[in-house]
């Protein structure tokens, strides 16, 4: 396998030009008004290697909400606080062929969430965060992540207002189902906290630094990092996970804001951002770039 740190800059610049064209095939999500208004031509990539080499191209100053990319880091945080035995009594770690916000999947599984990378699993994990209210719970996670990764995640209040400006019947139905089955307490605080942690935001560099936590961080237990990487590999890109795992094989996680984070084990992290999404909710240009880099490395 070739080394991520030797990726030629010229090659990366060419892929970026192609990625701009690819992005035109995608669509902005319409259920969060501010995401619908994002400039679709934004594009950024940051590659950080474990020896702290950094490669950045594109709109590196732009901040964006992590959305579902917070899910592996929520899992990492709770594994470190509560341990894997406890966590996997609350959620499973199997892939799902249903969309990320599927109620049907949860019902088919008798209310036991399939994995922490989809909404039912993440909401269940959010209910385990400690703190008296949603502000405190979100803040605890934010602080821990910033401290461990030296990043500058912040809560984007405008984005949060936008998320809360329209009802989200799917997430509400998942919360109701989990509450009815006694899987979560405090449904309101849980949903508020979930919306807040999805609006934790940063630049492409912050995202790549978060990714490095899953490569070789001296502050993170290697067992926990490996649990999170394995679940990202099989579950990180929703229904596209299987295809991505077969063709790319890197632990990856996408979010509806258009970001994708991929981990190259023992080498580093690749963070990409481009808002237009494919039918499964994954950024078209970000997955294009990651495929190109993976094919180069392998
Ligand atoms: N906040 C979003 C939601 O639950 C996050 C989803 C995502 O990024 N796929 O709908």
Evaluate the CA torsion angle 151, 38, 263, 73 in order and state its sign: positive
DSSP letters spanning 272-295? EE---B-TTS-BHHHHHHHHHHHH
Q: From the CA of 267, how far away is ligand 1's center (Å)? A: 29
Residue 278 burial by Cβ neighbours in a 10 Å radius (0-12, 13-18, 19+): middle
Tokens standing for 243?
A: 């295809």
DSSP 65: E
Tokens standing for 229?
A: 């990487």
Q: From the CA of 257, how far away is ligand 1's center (Å)? A: 8
Domains of the chain: 4-62+204-216+237-297 (3.40.710.10), 68-200 (3.40.710.10)
Closest CA to 177 of 131, 236, 114: 114
Cα separations in angstroms, 38 against 100, 192, 262, 266, 289: 22, 23, 23, 34, 20
Closest CA to 198 of 247, 156, 143, 261: 156
Q: How many Å is the Cα radius of gyration of the chain?
A: 18
The mean pLDDT value of the chain amounts to 95
Q: From the CA of 67, how far away is ligand 1's center (Å)? A: 5
pLDDT digits (tens, 9 = 90+) for 179-191: 999 999 899 999 9
Q: From the CA of 6, how far away is ligand 1's center (Å)? A: 34
Residues in contact with ligand 1 (CB, 6 Å cut-off): 67-68, 100-101, 119, 171, 198, 255-256, 281
pLDDT digits (tens, 9 = 90+) for 156-179: 999 999 999 999 999 999 999 999
Q: Which ligand 1 atom is nearest residue 67's CA?
A: 8
Evaluate the CA torsion angle 57, 63, 65, 66 in order and state its sign: positive
| Residue nearest atom 4 of ligand 1, based on CA coordinates | 119
Q: From the CA of 5, how far away is ligand 1's center (Å)? A: 32
pTM metric for this prediction: 0.96
- Find where tokens 């599927």 sit: 102
User: For residue 218, what pLDDT is reported?
Assistant: 85
Q: From the CA of 249, how far away is ligand 1's center (Å)? A: 23
Q: Which residue from 118, 198, 199, 237 has its CB within 8 A of the most atoms of ligand 1, so it is best to mutate?
A: 198
pLDDT digits (tens, 9 = 90+) for 91-145: 999 999 899 999 999 999 999 999 999 999 999 999 999 999 999 999 999 999 9
User: For residue 60, what pLDDT is reported?
Assistant: 96
| Residue nearest atom 2 of ligand 1, based on CA coordinates | 67
Could you tell me if 251 and 265 are in contact, meaning their C-beta atoms sit under 8 angstroms apart? yes
Could you tell me if 263 and 215 are in contact, meaning their C-beta atoms sit under 8 angstroms apart? yes
Q: What is the largest CA-CA distance in the chain?
A: 55
DSSP 117: T
Q: From the CA of 38, how far away is ligand 1's center (Å)? A: 16
Query: If pLDDT is split at 50, 70 and 90, which confidence band does 241 have?
Result: confident
| Residue nearest atom 6 of ligand 1, based on CA coordinates | 68
Strands laid side by side in the 259-264 sheet? 54-58, 44-49, 268-273, 259-264, 252-254
Task: Name the 3-class secondary structure at 186.
Answer: coil
Q: Which ligand 1 atom is nearest residue 194's CA?
A: 1
């Amino acid at each position: 396998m070739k080394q991520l740190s030797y990726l030629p800059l010229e090659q990366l610049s060419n892929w970026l030009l192609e990625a701009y064209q690819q992005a035109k095939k995608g669509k902005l999500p319409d259920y969060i008004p501010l995401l619908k208004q994002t400039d679709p031509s934004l594009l950024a990539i940051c590659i950080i290697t474990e020896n702290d080499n950094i490669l950045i191209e594109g709109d590196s100053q732009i901040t964006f909400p992590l959305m579902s990319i917070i899910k592996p880091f929520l899992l990492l945080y709770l594994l470190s606080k509560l341990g894997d035995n406890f966590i996997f009594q609350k959620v499973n770690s199997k892939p799902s062929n249903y969309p990320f916000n599927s109620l049907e999947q949860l019902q088919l599984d008798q209310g036991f969430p399939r994995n922490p990378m989809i909404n039912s699993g993440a909401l269940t994990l959010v209910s385990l965060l400690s703190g008296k209210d949603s502000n405190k719970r979100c803040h605890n996670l934010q602080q821990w992540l910033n401290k461990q990764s030296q990043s500058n995640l912040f809560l984007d209040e405008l984005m949060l207002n936008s998320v809360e400006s329209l009802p989200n019947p799917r997430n509400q139905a998942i919360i109701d189902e989990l509450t009815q089955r006694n899987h979560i307490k405090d449904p309101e605080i849980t949903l508020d906290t979930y919306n807040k942690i999805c609006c934790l935001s940063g630049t492409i560099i912050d995202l790549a630094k978060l990714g490095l936590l899953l490569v070789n961080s001296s502050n993170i237990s290697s067992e926990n990092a490996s649990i999170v990487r394995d679940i990202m590999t099989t579950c990180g890109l929703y229904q596209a996970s299987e295809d991505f795992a077969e063709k790319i094989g890197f632990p990856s996680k996408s979010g509806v804001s258009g970001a994708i984070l991929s981990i190259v084990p023992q080498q580093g992290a690749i963070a990409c951002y481009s808002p237009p999404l494919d039918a499964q909710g994954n950024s078209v240009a970000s997955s294009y770039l990651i495929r190109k880099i993976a094919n180069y490395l392998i």
